[in-house]
Amino acid sequence: MAVAATQDAGTGPAGARRRPPAAWTGTVPFFAYAALFLLLPTGIVIWNAFRNSTGGFTFSNLDFTAPGVGSAFIGSFQLSLAASLGGAVLGASLAYAVATGNPDGLIRRLSVAASGVLAQFGGVTLAFAFLAAIGPIGLFLKASWYSSFPWGIAVIYLYFQIPLMVLVFLPAIDGLKTQWREASESLGGSTWQYWRYVGGPLLAPAFLGALLLLFANSLSAFATIVAWEDQISYVVPQLIGTSMISEVGLNNANQGDALAVGMIVMVVIVMVCYFYLQRRTSRWLR
């Protein structure tokens, strides 16, 4: 108490005690901005999702039997599953390869820096790069599966999913203590037994959490898949895009909002599980 009082009184050179405006007023501009461009849009989406064309309340926008809607949700799920499972398994192996090297070595620094850049690299240019590499006129491979859904696009998604996995999963692998492995070995455990009974269970929550993060990441990607194919709507983001650009094809102007709410629900479920697993992970791997 006394300490706090001296601190307060002793700040000004004159020692004069005057009451400044409450400190929280300084945060008003930021929160006003966030309210206007983050909370308000979210509110608009949710509000419009439950309104019909005349402004009344309705559930009919959330019609998953409408043409294309059900298949888009299934497509989103398929693509996200393929891209997140592939990204998680491959990214985890890469992360392990990175983690077993010199912690201050060039390879590690390079991998981490490159992952940081590539994990954000999910734009239209990514689709064009793959078009050049494995597209119909591809330089290295004229892959017949390039334009097949979901495999073609899932491979393209791996380009940012793997680096994201490395970023998220590397700390977890680093958290595995050498002593655990030594303990397992001094008790006669084989490599397989170590991973089956020690390493695997320890990394499982971190792996599942990262998997969910990757799932959400590929669920919400839009730019790459539109640059890959803009005629057929395979996934929900494409359908939302179509509903925004032209109102044709959808029987209801507010269906875009309803689809967006569907996306929010999916992402929120995934992210809540992610944060829960994150907390579990941090209990062991510190």
Partner 1 sequence: MAAVNPVAPAALVEDAAAVPARPARNRSRQRNLAIFRYVTFTVFGLFFLLPMLAMLRFSLERATGTGGWSIAAWTSIPSYQIPNGPALLGGVEITLEIALVVSLIVLILVLPTMIWIHLRVRWLARVMEFMSLLPLTLPAIVLVVGLAPIYNKIEQHNVSALMLCWAYGILVLPYVYRALAAGLGAIDATTLAEAARSLGASWPVVMLRVIAPNMWQAILNSLMLTIALVCGEFTIAYLLGYNTLSVDLFSISRNATNASVLFSGSAAALLFTFVLLVIVSYAGRRLQRHRA
Decide if residue 113 touches partner 1 (CB under 8 A).
no
Nearest in space to 260 (alpha carbons), one of 34, 61, 59, 80: 61
Closest C-alpha among 3, 26, 5, 1 to residue 15 = 5
DSSP secondary structure code for residue 105 in this structure: S
| Paired tokens of 196 | 């089956």
Quick one: which of 68, 123, 171, 175 contacts partner 1 (CB under 8 A)? 123
222 in contact with partner 1 (CB under 8 A): yes
Interacting positions 41-70 with partner 1 (CB under 8 A):
41-45
Of the candidate spans 66-74, 80-88, 167-175, 234-242, the one that interacts with partner 1 by CB under 8 A turns out to be: 234-242
Q: What residues are paired with 57 via a beta bridge?
A: 51
- The interface region with partner 1, picked from 35-43, 50-58, 143-151, 197-205 by CB under 8 A, is 35-43
- Identify whether the C-beta of residue 152 lies closer than 8 Å to the C-beta of residue 138: no
Task: From residue 93, give the alpha-carbon distance in Å to each of 106, 162, 215, 244.
Answer: 18, 10, 18, 40
Residue 185 or 201: the one with the smaller Cβ distance to partner 1 is 185
* DSSP summary character for residue 22: P
The amino acid occupying position 215 is F
**What are φ and ψ of residue 57, in 5° steps?**
-80, 140
Interaction of residue 241 with partner 1, rule CB under 8 A: yes
The correct pick among 9, 33, 113, 247 for binding partner 1 (CB under 8 A) is 33
Our measurement of the distance from residue 221's CA atom to the centroid of its chain's CA atoms, rounded to an integer in Å, reads 9
209 binds partner 1 (CB under 8 A): no
Please give the residues from 181 up to 200 whose contact with partner 1 meets the rule CB under 8 A. Answer: 182, 186, 191
CA distance 119 to 103: 21
9 binds partner 1 (CB under 8 A): no
* 136: contact with partner 1 by CB under 8 A: no
Is residue 36 close enough to count as binding partner 1 by CB under 8 A?
yes
Candidates 159, 169, 207, 215; binder of partner 1 (CB under 8 A) is 159
User: What is the C-alpha to C-alpha distance for residues 136 and 139, in angstroms, rounded to an integer?
Assistant: 9
| Stretch of residues binding partner 1 (CB under 8 A), selected from 56-64, 98-106, 197-205, 277-285 | 98-106
Q: Is residue 7 near partner 1 by the rule CB under 8 A? A: yes
